[in-house]
Amino acid sequence: MSVIECQGLTKAYGGVKALNNFSCNIEENKITGLIGRNGAGKTTLLKIIAGFMKETSGDLKVFSESPFNNLTVSANVVFIHDQMDLPTALNLKELLEVAASFYQNWDRELANRLFDYFSLSPLQHYEGLSKGMKSTFNMILGLAARVPLTLFDEPTSGMDAAVRQDFYRALLKDYLAHPRTIIISSHHLNEIEDLLEDILLMKDGKELLHMPIADLKEWAIGLQGKTAIVDEWTQNKELIFTKNIGPDQSYVVVRNNFSETEWQSARIAGIDLTPVSSSDLCVYLTSKTKGGIDDVFNKG
Amino acid sequence: MIINLDGTKPIYVQISEWLENEILNGNVESDQKIYSQYQLAEIYNINPATAAKGLNILVDEQILYKKRGLGMFVTSNAKEMILTKRKNQTLKRLVQEIVIEAARLQVSKEELIEMINAADIGEVEK
């Protein structure tokens, strides 16, 4: 069953289309990683799904309803991002109480335990927290709300490495105990990929790839060896990334549709075949040129 | 074996290999219940769907079998099946790689066999 269905979704800010005819379905009880460069439209998409703003055109259904101005959707969705608008008059413990009154499945015990574990102090105010502590508090809200659809937009920004690891583990453990639909956007794909079931890669307001993360790892392959031989093996293939190493060596990433026998003969021909990490592949796929930053410096 | 999450091998393949090792080491015997996808997810901090994929490889190879509503169990001749498979696939591939590297280094076949003879099995078994 799909929790989110969108078809031809467009959102324009002035003349710029943050979402440009975007379509996708998100299935129930999966953890999906939303990946893309800065400005790809990730936050815009999440804001529209959460009902925080309205699409310019296109069709969107969350739990089969249009999310904008919709009470069912807002009671069943939590949207965690780094500009949370929380009442400044309340201290942290009071904020948790208010959240508890809003979300039906709120887990008070989990909220309190996480609160103590991360050494937050009850009487402090949100405004006074550091960036990383704000993110930590937000994360507690997102997990304890335990709503059917949880949206995390860059949840780990400002967190130190230890807290990030704790967050990933807490997210997974609570998901195992209470499966639900989770979308998490991040620039640290290498850190979150093991938690994910699916990956949704965005570029220029469109969906570029949407597949199980396990398939992505085998989707492309890197070939390294003598340029002439590599060229021979990669002709008629879709080039994803190319790089020259030294005078006559190349590294080329292509779609992985080699057969087992082709693999063997490429190896024997002296080509190193290596898997491409998901995060490298996403960088290559979303880059504007096939050579990346090096193209800027290669004038001729 | 510790799962190498940064490694180039897909995690679900590493999970299925780890499960095979558990069977080979006798940690899970024939007709005993093997770890569930949720236990594996918890142990290795991975998505349960990934863990399920690792389990399903072994079900497809009939090293594990499913009991409806009870989970997955180890087949009675699982050990032999794993050993045969590893010999035919993993060892063959490794040998192939050694031969290619030897050719690159201009090491003759005789020299290579000598090196294999010289390699200390005792060291390996520790």
pLDDT one-digit tens code per residue, B2-44: 556 555 678 899 999 999 999 999 999 999 999 999 999 999 9
* Distance between B126 CA and the closest CA of chain A, angstroms: 30
CA A45 to chain centre: 12
Structure tokens at A33: 């990683």
Phi, psi of A107 (to 5 degrees): -100, 95
Chain-chain contact of A214 with B12 (C-beta, under 8 angstroms): yes
Average pLDDT over residues A9-20: 93
What are the sequence ranges of the domains in chain B?
11-77, 79-125
- From A267, which residue of chain B is nearest by alpha-carbon distance? B100
- From B40, which residue of chain A is nearest by alpha-carbon distance? A176
User: Between A194, A267, A274, which is nearest B45 by CB?
Assistant: A194
DSSP state, B8?
S
B64, B69, B71, B76 from B79: Cα distances, Å: 11, 25, 19, 8
Cα–Cα dist B17/B53, whole Å: 12
Cα–Cα dist A243/B46, whole Å: 33
Find chain A residues with C-beta within 8 A of B104's C-beta.
Answer: 270
AA identity, residue A295: D
Looking at the predicted structure, is the pLDDT value of residue B123 above 60? no
Cα–Cα dist A62/A70, whole Å: 10
Looking at the predicted structure, is the pLDDT value of residue B1 above 60? no
Q: Among A185, A252, A212, A229, which residue's Cα sits nearest to residue A30? A: A212
- Topology annotation, domain B11-77: Arc Repressor Mutant, subunit A (1.10.10)
Chain-chain contact of B8 with A268 (C-beta, under 8 angstroms): no
Looking at the predicted structure, is the pLDDT value of residue A267 above 90? no
Residue B126: what pLDDT?
43
AA identity, residue A77: V
Beta-strand pair A272-275/A249-255: unpaired
Find chain B residues with C-beta within 8 A of A190's C-beta.
Answer: 6
Chain-chain contact of A176 with B46 (C-beta, under 8 angstroms): no
Find chain B residues with C-beta within 8 A of A30's C-beta.
Answer: 49
Q: Output the DSSP codes for A227-288.
A: HHHHHHHHTTS-EEEEEEETTTEEEEEEE----HHHHHHHHHTT-EEEE--HHHHHHHHH-S
* Distance between B43 CA and the closest CA of chain A, angstroms: 10
- From B3, which residue of chain A is nearest by alpha-carbon distance? A194
- From A274, which residue of chain B is nearest by alpha-carbon distance? B8
Interface of A with B in 122-161 (CB under 8 A): none
If one counts every other C-beta atom within 10 angstroms of the C-beta of residue A273, the result is 17
Looking at the predicted structure, is the pLDDT value of residue A97 above 90? yes
For chain A, which domains are there?
Answer: 2-216 (3.40.50.300), 218-297 (3.30.70)
Residue A188: what pLDDT?
87
User: Between B8, B41, B97, which is nearest A275 by CB?
Assistant: B8
Q: By percentage, how much of chain A surpasses pLDDT 90?
A: 79
- Residues 6 or more apart whose CB falls under 8 angstroms from that of A201 comprise A35, A36, A207, A208, A209, A210, A282, A285, A286
Residue A265: what pLDDT?
86
- From A216, which residue of chain B is nearest by alpha-carbon distance? B10
pLDDT one-digit tens code per residue, A202-226: 999 999 999 999 899 889 999 999 9
* A218 in contact with chain B, both atoms CB, cutoff 8 A: yes
Output the CA angle A231-A242-A274, nearest 5 degrees: 80
Find chain A residues with C-beta within 8 A of B50's C-beta.
Answer: 194, 197, 213-214
* Distance between B102 CA and the closest CA of chain A, angstroms: 12
- Residues 6 or more apart whose CB falls under 8 angstroms from that of A189 comprise A33, A35, A199, A278, A279, A282
Chain-chain contact of B100 with A217 (C-beta, under 8 angstroms): no
**How would residue A130 be classed by pLDDT, with cut points 50, 70 and 90?**
very high
* B100 or A70, greater pLDDT: A70
Residue A258: what pLDDT?
84
The ipTM value here is 0.84
- State the number of CA atoms in the 13 A half-sphere of A133 facing the CB: 16
Phi, psi of A179 (to 5 degrees): -55, 135
Cα–Cα dist A286/A37, whole Å: 7
Chain-chain contact of B38 with A169 (C-beta, under 8 angstroms): no
CA A125 to chain centre: 29
Q: Among A279, A218, A224, which residue's Cα sits nearest to residue A251? A: A224
pLDDT one-digit tens code per residue, B91-109: 888 898 888 889 889 999 8
Find chain A residues with C-beta within 8 A of B7's C-beta.
Answer: none
- From A265, which residue of chain B is nearest by alpha-carbon distance? B100
